[in-house]
Structures are given as structure tokens and as C-alpha cells.
Amino acid sequence: MTRYAFTFPGQGSQAVGMGKDLAAAYPEARAVFQEVDEALGQRLSAIMFEGPDDILRLTENAQPALMAVSLAIIRVLEAKGVRLADHAAFVAGHSLGEYSALAAAGTFTIADTARLLKTRGQAMQKAVPVGHGAMAALLGLDMATTHEVAAEAAQGEVCDVANDNAPGQVVVSGTVAAIERAVELAKAKGAKRALLLPVSAPFHCSLMQPAADAMAQALAEVTMNAPVVPLVANVLATPITDPAEIRQRLVEQVTGVVRWTETVTWLTGPGGVTHLAELGTGKVLTGLAKRINAEAVGTSVTTPADIDAFVAALLA
């Protein structure tokens, strides 16, 4: 029996031109982009469609932009007779994608989600002065060895495991010197590759506590409904539905580990999911799903052609 989870991409998937083909093809998509623009008081859609790239890549723009494309796809699917509650057993999102997942599942309005992500992006950028934090991808090490590397590299500074993206693909985050030490230690311990990432701040580590505090305040002021299907939370890798717990986990997520390997493992194991549909820009999560569970069927739904094929498969 086919059983779907809908997943939503995180930062790094943004690209100039994102959403432009959707806006040209569907009034529902145009309405979402307009709603986000109005909620933020900026022409974010113009930056998404035309760039420049350096402005789109700013955390405070990339986060709501990625959500906007994901929600545009959700609204187009709804217009074609595909309701999330009827076709998805669970939702999950990678880091900021968790907000997209919750908006898709009705926990937040699109306008509130856009404002929350703007706040989140600004707070994450402000938490650490530029040049004081870094992140690195460590490829080819198991989690136990990665934790050893992080502990050894810290030396009284911050070096935390930030993202467990797939087996052998883990990201660490912290102060520049500690992360540089982690890169060298990882190579010495047999990593296939260890490289600094081109990010503007050290996400998902304890240095982000000021941003977590800002999100606790912002989330306390927003109306939250129970999602129409459970969210498999980044920091738990298990499903939750209670709005108060969702709020708590979203705050923890700012400094906590994105447990993506465990999330997909839970979905395709105890969750009984056979198909993972990635709704939004890019195909990063679809690629990770294959690395986590070779038997899982991953589908990337990004373009109008993807949407048509996905609707045909769901309504067949």
C-alpha cells in the first residue's frame, strides 16, 4: 500500500528564478507570493524571480522565500483536488522547512509563517557577529566518530553536531577556530572529505541561543492550530501534534540537531511511509532519502510538469 509523507526543503535550496514558472502558470501560486510580499512589506517575490543572488541568499530572505515556493505548490495541489490531509500521513521539514510543513498542515497561516521566518532569519544572523562562527560538512564518518571529533575540537569553545543529514553526511557548527580544528581532526580520523560551508552564521548550535529566545517570544504571540497530520519534528525524529509542544520544539530546533537521518528512518520504518514527496525548490531531500533508505521512493515536486505528474500519481 502506498503511504506518503510530504517533506519540505531547508536553506541552501534557494536559487534565483525560484517560483517564477509557478507564478506564470498558476493564479494560486501568484496569490501566495503576493500574500508573502504583503506580510513582509517587501517585494520578496521580485528577489526570488530576478535576484540578485547575494540578496536572496541572506538568511532573512532565503527562509521565507523557500517557504513561499513550498506553500505555492500546496495551494496549486489543493486547486487540483489534492488535499494534504487526504494524501499525506505525515509532514516533515529540514530546519526552516519545518515551518513550511506546519503552514502546509494548517498550524500557521502563510502570512504568520512568513513573518516568523523573517524574524528567525534576522535573529539567527544577529546571534553571532559575522566572522565569529562557522559550519563544516564532515563526509564519511559515523555519528559516534563525529561526536568524538566535535568534543575534541571544542577545547572550551563551541563545536556542536548541527545536522545529521544522511549516513556519512554530518554538519558541525560553532566558533571558527573550533570548526577549523574539527575539519582537521575529521580528516585524521578517516573522513572522505571535511570542508567549511559557505554560510553566514553557525546554525543549530548553542551560539544560537539568542535566536532561540527571540523565536520563543515570536511563537508565543502567534495563533497555532493542531496540524491536520502529525509533524515529525527535527529535534525528536518522532511525530507530534500538540501546538504547545510544537512551539517548544521549534524553539529547541534553533540550537538543536536536525535529526534528518532518524526522521526519514522513522517515517519509512514505524511510520509505514513508502513514498517521500519533497514539495519546494530543489531536490536535496529526495537525494538524502535515497541515501538513508534505498527502498524509499522519493519524488521532487518543483515545476508545473512535476505537479501534473504528482497529481496524476496521487489521483490514479
* Three state DSSP letters for the chain: CCCEEEEECCCCCCCCCCCHHHHHHCHHHHHHHHHHHHHHCCCHHHHHHHCCHHHHCCHHHHHHHHHHHHHHHHHHHHHCCCCHHHHEEEEEECCCHHHHHHHHCCCCCHHHHHHHHHHHHHHHHHHCCCCCEEEEEEECCCHHHHHHHHHHHHCCCCEEEEEEEECCEEEEEEEHHHHHHHHHHHHHCCCCEEEECCCCCCCCCHHHHHHHHHHHHHHHCCCCCCCCCCEECCCCCCEECCHHHHHHHHHHHHHCCECHHHHHHHHHCCCCCCEEEEECCCCHHHHHHHHHCCCCEEEEECCHHHHHHHHHHHHC
Q: What does pTM read for this prediction?
A: 0.97
pLDDT at position 194, please?
98
Q: What CATH number is attached to the domain comprising 212?
A: 3.40.366.10
Please tell me whether residues 219 and 287 are part of one structural domain.
yes
Please tell me whether residues 180 and 216 are part of one structural domain.
no
Please tell me whether residues 107 and 246 are part of one structural domain.
yes
Please tell me whether residues 54 and 38 are part of one structural domain.
yes
pLDDT at position 294, please?
95
Please tell me whether residues 13 and 77 are part of one structural domain.
yes
pLDDT at position 87, please?
98
Q: Which of 150, 175, 199 is the last residue of a domain?
A: 199
Please tell me whether residues 234 and 189 are part of one structural domain.
no
Please tell me whether residues 169 and 223 are part of one structural domain.
no
Contact 19, 45 (CB under 8 A): yes
Please tell me whether residues 157 and 182 are part of one structural domain.
yes
pLDDT at position 286, please?
98
Q: What CATH number is attached to the domain comprising 178?
A: 3.30.70.250
Please tell me whether residues 115 and 170 are part of one structural domain.
no
Number of domains in the chain: 2
Please tell me whether residues 41 and 108 are part of one structural domain.
yes
Q: Which of 199, 231, 248 is the last residue of a domain?
A: 199
Where in the sequence numbering do the catalytic residues fall? 95, 204
Please tell me whether residues 154 and 239 are part of one structural domain.
no
Tell me which residue range forms the domain holding 220. Answer: 4-127+207-315
pLDDT at position 200, please?
83
Q: Which of 141, 175, 199 is the last residue of a domain?
A: 199
Q: What is the pLDDT along the chain (316 residues), one digit of tens a residue?
A: 899 999 999 999 999 999 999 999 999 999 999 999 999 999 999 999 999 999 999 999 999 999 999 999 999 999 999 999 999 999 999 999 999 999 999 999 999 999 999 999 999 999 999 899 999 999 999 999 999 999 999 999 999 999 999 999 999 999 999 999 999 999 999 999 999 998 889 999 999 999 999 999 999 999 999 999 999 999 999 999 999 999 999 999 999 999 999 999 999 999 999 999 999 999 999 999 999 999 999 999 999 999 999 999 999 8
Please tell me whether residues 305 and 245 are part of one structural domain.
yes
